[in-house]
Amino acid sequence: MAKLHIKKGDNVMVIAGNDKGASGRVLEVIVEKQKAIVEGVNMVKKHTKPNAQYPDGGIISKEAPIHISNLKVIDKSGNPTRIGRKIDEKTGKSVRYSKKSGEVIK
């Protein structure tokens, strides 16, 4: 399976779907399904039975996964950008970089 352009902790912007234009931090990446859970994006209502965590039960709002093709990474300058990979001259390891500005993304 190919490497994904999004990692946990990245700031991303939604480029398609109901939450188009929204941005947030990636909480989790589900590699098998090529989806990511983004903080405050794609909120759904979940009906829960009473349990130890929610003694009264009820309806809670939580983030649902969104496909990574609908996400773009936001670089340090705050612009959504495509991601490229290149070999770092100093370490010899593969690093991600912004195609728009050319800067390395952590």
Whether 33 is covered by a domain: the verdict is yes
Nearest to 70 by CA among 80, 55, 62, 59: 80
Letter for the amino acid at 37? I
Looking at per-residue pLDDT, the higher value among 22 and 54 belongs to: 22
**Band of the pLDDT at 1, cuts 50, 70, 90?**
low
Say which CATH number the domain at 44 has: 2.30.30.30
* Residue 49 belongs to a domain: yes
pLDDT in tens, 10-52: 999 999 999 999 999 999 999 999 999 999 999 999 999 999 9
Q: Is residue 21 part of a domain?
A: yes
Ramachandran class of 2: left when φ > 0, alpha when ψ lies in -120 to 50, beta otherwise: beta
53: in domain: yes
Number of domain units in the chain: 1
Q: Is residue 99 part of a domain?
A: no
Determine the structural domain holding residue 62 and report its residue range: 11-76
Question: What is the predicted pLDDT for the residue at 58?
Answer: 93
